[in-house]
Amino acid sequence: MNKAENNDQFDLETLRKQVSDVNRRGDGTETTSSEPLNDYARQIAEQFSDGTRTPSIMIGQFRLIEFLSQFGIGLLSFLLWVDTEETIAMRAVASLCVGALLVLALQTADCYTIPALRARTRPLPKVLLTWTVVFAAMVAIIAVVSPVGAAQLHSYVGWFVVGGIFLLGSRFLLAYGIRNWARNGIMERRAVLVGGGQPAKDFIRLLEQQPDNDIRICGIFDDRGEKRSPSMVAGYPKLGTIGELVEFARLTRIDMLIIALPLSAEARILQLLKKLWVLPVDIRLAAHSNRLRFRPRAYSHVGSVPMLDIFNKPIRDWDSVAKRCFDIFFAVLALAVVWPIMLATALAIKTTSPGPVFFMQKRHGFNNEVINVFKFRSMYSNMSDPTGKAAVTKDDPRVTPVGRFIRKTSIDELPQLFNVLIGNLSLVGPRPHAVLAQARDRAFGDVVEGYFARHRVKPGVTGWAQINGWRGEVDNDDKIKFRTAYDLYYIENWSLWFDLKILFLTPFRLFNTENAY
């Protein structure tokens, strides 16, 4: 790699770092506010409010289907054709090995890509050849270990024929399904272009020429006027300004923002990224007209159209599935352990002060959506603050004696386990704040420019900030700045092991009740 390429890579990383640092620090510049959508843009947004089927999830499910099908066909062939010394356990092991090797071989042969799966007949010879090689290799290994009789050989032939027919037939049907899903908008990547004019027009035309294009342009947003950015570009309407784009992305299931500006407009790109990085979407920079070249891993492609990967959506696809399974397992386990504590708490609240046992508060959830969070009631009913605008302070007269104890020990948070099972909270993540929460007289979003980037993932019952001491009252700007910084660190470094670590440390860190009132 030459010196110019090294400089290019440095510039790209510097751009990402500038965006993150400026937004974490907060520099007094309003960068994250959204504007009300115009009526036309709102109508378009309603068309894209439903989710789509992501290619990686679909491919993963199809891998599992092919593995299980070969395992099942192997066992079925044993039951129908074999009459030898081979046992069902031996056939089960052989079926497992064949299924696993087949999936691995098809993956190596690039047979699990969207272009390969959507083509009806072109990849079928490669699939059949792969199946033949895998099956022949397994039979050869079995023959070396023990002799294969005529009856057993008939069983293997039946397995090979039925397995091959299933492979070819399922892939032919899947190709039809993918094409149908693409036409109906069920399986596509929805994108919004940021920036109009000639660069956006050139990008759209090039994208439309790609036979394997799975991107659907939902509209264009640009702050510039008609002279530099017309209201219609290559048949796609300009829906509004960048401020309106933030609100548009909150209302729709958008997968990607593509900035259609030349790389030389670095200052403008940085300005846009400071506004847009708070959204839970992929952010790409159209690179089809750039002469500069970065490292290959910095790019993603649609056909031959290159795009620079600036920011990726966190906890996506199978990671989100794994995290959801993690949440359900440990939430059920926690409820099985703490239900006596929850029952005793409910009785104590009900018998010591009038009013309901539970308290429900509106808080910010994933993608800035407003969710209802359950807690044990810790205040007198006639003095509670559902908005959360007036934070609880030390010796607050609104808090009941029982409430003071359950807040100190965080027992009041236990009903949020039901939020986890419902699906609007995760066990681990940035803590959800009340919609009107403030640091003194300023909203959190006005104190920290990157505050709303916390909402790129689902909020959690506990989090990295909380176990590091940043919990309780927010009575100065630094507390919310540090809390946000820890939350962003968690998002950028997420893993299931990180979640497990936070979950394990949470009970021990709760002994520090200095900031819990």
Count of residues in the chain: 517
| Residue 474 to residue 481: CA distance in whole angstroms | 10
What pLDDT digit, counting tens, does each position of 104-135 carry?
A: 999 998 888 888 888 878 888 999 999 999 99
pLDDT of residue 10: 38
pLDDT of residue 232: 83
pLDDT of residue 20: 57
DSSP structure class, residue 304: T
Alpha-carbon dihedral 40, 45, 46, 52, rounded to 10 degrees: 150
pLDDT of residue 121: 83
pLDDT of residue 13: 61
Contact 179/118 with Cβ under 8 angstroms?
yes
84 Cβ contact list (under 8 Å, min separation 6): 149, 151, 152
What pLDDT digit, counting tens, does each position of 72-85 carry?
A: 998 888 888 766 66
**Strands of 215-221's sheet, edge to edge?**
232-233, 236-240, 215-221, 189-194, 256-259, 282-286, 305-311, 299-302
pLDDT of residue 297: 60
**Dihedrals φ, ψ of 389, to 5°?**
-70, -40
Contact 479/470 with Cβ under 8 angstroms?
yes
Contact 85/110 with Cβ under 8 angstroms?
no
- Nearest residue to 191 (alpha-carbon basis) of 262, 275, 252: 252
pLDDT of residue 42: 85
pTM over 0.85: no
pLDDT along the chain (517 residues), means of 10: 40 58 48 69 83 82 93 87 72 90 92 84 90 91 74 83 92 88 78 85 85 82 78 85 86 87 78 85 78 60 77 88 94 94 92 88 87 88 71 77 86 92 93 78 76 89 88 74 89 93 87 57
> Distances in Å between the alpha carbon of 308 and those of 204, 218, 313?
16, 20, 14
Angle between helices 55-81 and 317-352 (to 10 degrees): 100
Contact 439/479 with Cβ under 8 angstroms?
yes
DSSP structure class, residue 253: -
Structural domains in the chain, CATH included, are 3-52+188-313 (3.40.50.720), 55-184 (no CATH), 318-509 (no CATH)
| Residue 13 to residue 7: CA distance in whole angstroms | 10
| Residue 45 to residue 249: CA distance in whole angstroms | 8
Q: What angle do CA 288, 293, 295 make, to 5 degrees?
A: 115
pLDDT of residue 473: 66
pLDDT of residue 491: 92
